Chain A
Amino acid sequence: MQGSEFKKNRLGLMGWLSGGRYGVERYAYTLHRLTGLAILAYFILHIFVTSARVLGEEAWNTVMGFLNSPAFKVGEFLVYLAFAYHALNGIRLVLTELGFFLGTPCQPVFPYSNSVKRQRPVLVVVMIVAAVVVLLGGVDFLRAFPGE
């Protein structure tokens, strides 16, 4: 029997999106990837927008006027939110990739402990710091609205 005759059962993107009954790190993984893609999309848009400068002052002012609307301010805040999460969670990932907070290999004895549980307090701290950074940034963004 060849592989092609079997039913395909790959989760695809649902593997990212349905965190299911796994731990919070799986949601952190999904959010990290999605925010990474969002920042990449913003970066491409950012290059496109700033390239208006080479078309002259008038084109630049037109684009800036267009972007100076509440909708884009909200969009900017979302990018800031994505950046804050991605950067702080990225620091956690770099530290775990360097072997910090994971413990040392040991003979598995039931009930098993694992490195994911051992580093979970770090994830909680990172999420709290991210929330504080987002809140502080949120206050600053609110000031940017006319009349505030």
Chain B
Amino acid sequence: MIEPVSTQGEKTDEIVKNVKFKVLRFDRDTIPSPRVDSFDVPVKKGMTVLDALQYIKENLDSTLSWRFSCRMGVCGSCGMFINGFPRLACNTQVLELEADVVDLKPLPNFDTIKDLVPDLAVLFEKHRSVRPFTLRKDIAELDNPSGEFFQTTDELQRYLQFAYCIKCGLCMAACPTVATDRRYLGPQALTQAHRYNMDSRDEGRDERKDEALGTHGVFRCHFAGACSEACPKGVDPAFAIQLMKRDALKASFGLLRKKKAAPLAPKVTSGKRMEGVPDAPKRTV
């Protein structure tokens, strides 16, 4: 479980201890049978697992592979199985693990391309399948927008939490239903379906229904809650899925209020621009 770190935040050059990193290695051509390689890494305060992997790559074994980009918990690339729990390597400090041995494995429930690199293609396929974008009947307005759609703060709060997903795949690796049902859409895609269903600007609930409420949709979830515990951004996929089930039940009894897509916000016709605020840039599309 992700807990806040209070004392290990500052980076210093002082080596606190040596930690053994046991890394599962696999390569289709050179290591067809997976094996575990051990590396001793001198750990400093504030050092993340990603830093440790960089140290191994630079000093101990240049063939080690993993995927990363932003180094700050935003891009969702460096998800891996760290000491039996799916985490982002960049978001996990080694000392926070309170262990002398750190086990690193690729994310389970995804095929492995090499070493710690999972094949996330299936995640994106499932994500695409729920049509995670605003669907509206006024296609002309979508194609050629003339203004902003009106949305209140309350309407924003209904989906904002679920919009923080970075598609790292940790929830899919944590989910026990994904482990046994290959076709289950999983917490990531279902949460995104709910995110758009709850968006007041969207009216695509019916178009997502077949996929999201189908045989391998929300009702495959039995609330193990592992997805919400693993999520590094506080998205709470289990919550979105339960709310989606509730809405599906309401809809089946005709109790779900028919949603009318948010209208265009009225044009500002009066008022004066605040001093020093520049004009909006010219449209590029």
Contact = CB atoms under 8 A, between A and B. Distances in A.
With most chain A CB atoms within 10 A of its CB, the pick from B28, B222, B245 is B222
A23 B229 contact: yes
B109 to A, nearest CB: 6
16 contacts: A7-B28, A9-B106, A12-B179, A15-B108, A15-B177, A22-B85, A22-B224, A29-B222, A97-B245, A99-B243, A102-B243, A105-B239, A105-B243, A110-B4, A111-B2, A115-B228
Interface residues of A, number: 44
A112 interface: yes
Nearest to B110: A9
A136 interface: no
Contacts of A21: 1, 83-85
Interface of B: 1-4, 26, 28, 34, 83-85, 106-113, 118-119, 121, 157-162, 164, 174-180, 182, 222-226, 228-231, 233-236, 238-239, 242-243, 245-246, 249
Given A7-B26, A93-B223, A114-B236, 19 more contacts: A10-B179, A11-B108, A11-B109, A15-B180, A22-B174, A22-B230, A25-B224, A26-B224, A26-B225, A30-B176, A102-B243, A105-B158, A106-B157, A108-B161, A108-B164, A114-B225, A114-B234, A115-B225, A116-B228
Interface in A1-29: 1, 3, 5-16, 20-23, 25-26, 28-29
Interface of A: 1, 3, 5-16, 20-23, 25-26, 28-30, 32-33, 93, 96-99, 102-103, 105-116
Contacts of B238: 114-116
Q: Is the interface of A mostly helix, strand, loop or mixed?
A: loop
Given A13-B180, A30-B176, A112 B160 contact: no
B178 A15 contact: yes
With most chain A CB atoms within 10 A of its CB, the pick from B84, B182, B243 is B243
Given A98-B246, A105-B161, A108-B161, A25 B179 contact: no
